[in-house]
Structure 1
Amino acid sequence: MADLATLDELKGRLDWTLDADEERIATTALEDASDLARAHAGRDWPTAASAPRLARTLVLKACRRYMNNPSGYTQSRAGDETLGWSDDQGENAGTVYFSADEIELLEGLGGRKRGLTSVEVTAWNSRIPRGPAGLVPTQGGAPFPLFAHEEEPW
């Protein structure tokens, strides 16, 4: 599948001109970010034009973050050459990744909703008897009041 953003779009978001190695890295970062975006959204957008603009923006944002710090450094020092990594990003340090907010946006673009859902479950080919609101059917007796009914509170 095609990347959701182009190399030229990514170059427009960077503060420097890419050399040949950086262009190769940026191309693979665009591919990785596009695959991740599709996975989080649960959608297969075959082309960049078929993807929502926000999805393309999030791919470019993740790639820009990666290109600015491909090794995942959290500190650097010129004198005595000190470099530091942090476990804050965990397995995402030094890779293309989406933040939790970006993942939530991608899930929303794909129609996925987080949260608790109540689903009615029944046996195959069965029918649920419907009675008056607030009353539960019983086996051979009068309906049982499960919760307060506006007309007949208990």
Structure 2
Amino acid sequence: MAYATLDELKGRLDWELDEDELRIAAGALDDASDLAATYGRDWPEATAPRLVKTLVLKSAARYLRNPNGYTQSRAGDETLAWSDIGRDSGTVYFAREEIRLLEELAGRKPGITSVAVFAWGTKQRGHSAAGLVPVNYSPASPFPLFEDEASPW
């Protein structure tokens, strides 16, 4: 399952792909689509956001343009250099900003959220019950805490 087609990828490249490059390009699209589903979510191909397709194409094209991940190359003394992307060098990858976009598209926005909090030993709201809260004094008998429909305390 790929979020973009080989023809769409060819349209982003400025050279004609030979047979080996076509095989590699198809694998790059699959890898980028798998990563997009991992960082985002497993969208159905037909309803995936347009930005997912754009990011998949961008990642696959980046890999095809520079499959070894070089950032510098000199012919004189054979100097090669790789970037600081580490383990992703020479593979299909998404940049940090692209990952953040995929997470946001999937609804995984970091930030403040609300969380239901319940006292120790009580039940969730709607289950009328008394609970006992452990205490830190002597005699160490638990303190009763009752849940009420009108007020949680």
- Give the TM-score of the pair, scaled to structure 1: 0.75
Matching of residue 117 in structure 1 with residue 113 in structure 2: yes
Q: Secondary structure at the match of 2:11?
A: helix
Identical-pair percentage: 62
Cα distance in structure 1, aligned partners of 2:72 and 2:91: 17
Q: Distance in 1 between matches of 2:64 and 2:123?
A: 53
Deviation at 1:117, TM superposition (A): 2.3
Please point out which of 81, 100, 103 is paired with 1:104: 100
Q: Indicate yes or no: 2:80 matched with 1:65.
A: no
Q: Name the structure 1 match of 2:7.
A: 8
Could you list the per-position Cα deviations for residues 92-141 of structure 1 after superposition, in whole angstroms to 9, with x for gaps in the alignment? 1111111111111111111111123231212424446656xxxx95xxxx
Instruction: Identify the residue that residue 130 of structure 2 maps to in structure 1.
Output: none
Q: Distance between the aligned counterparts of 2:148 and 2:71, measured in 1?
A: 59
1:56 alignment partner in structure 2: 53
Aligned residues: 129
Q: Which runs of 5+ in 2 are unaligned?
A: 126-146
- Aligned positions of 1:72-87 closer than 5 A: 72-86=69-83
The 2-side partners of 1:119 and 1:94 are apart by: 41
CA displacement 1:36-80 (0-9 Å, x = unmatched): 101111x22232x22111100010011111111110111101223
**Greater alpha carbon shift after TM alignment, 75-84 vs 88-97:** 75-84
Describe the shift of the 1:20–1:108 C-alpha distance in structure 2 as closer, same or farther (beyond 3 A).
same
Distance 2:76 2:37 in 1: 43
Structure 1: runs of 5+ lacking an equivalent: 138-154
Relative contact order (alpha carbons < 8 A, sep ≥ 6): 1 or 2 greater? 1
Cα distance in 2 for partners of 1:128, 1:78 equals 78
**Distance (whole Å) between structure 2 residues aligned to residue 61 and residue 128 of structure 1:** 55
**Hey, what's the Cα distance between the residues in 2 that align with 1:64 and 1:128?**
60
Structure 2 CA distance for aligned equivalents of residues 128 and 24 of structure 1: 65
Alpha carbon RMSD of aligned pairs, Å? 1.9
For residues 32 and 74 of structure 1, the distance between their equivalents in structure 2, rounded to whole angstroms, comes to: 22
Q: Judging changes above 3 Å, is the alpha-carbon distance between structure 1 residues 79 and 113 closer, same or farther for their aligned structure 2 residues?
A: same
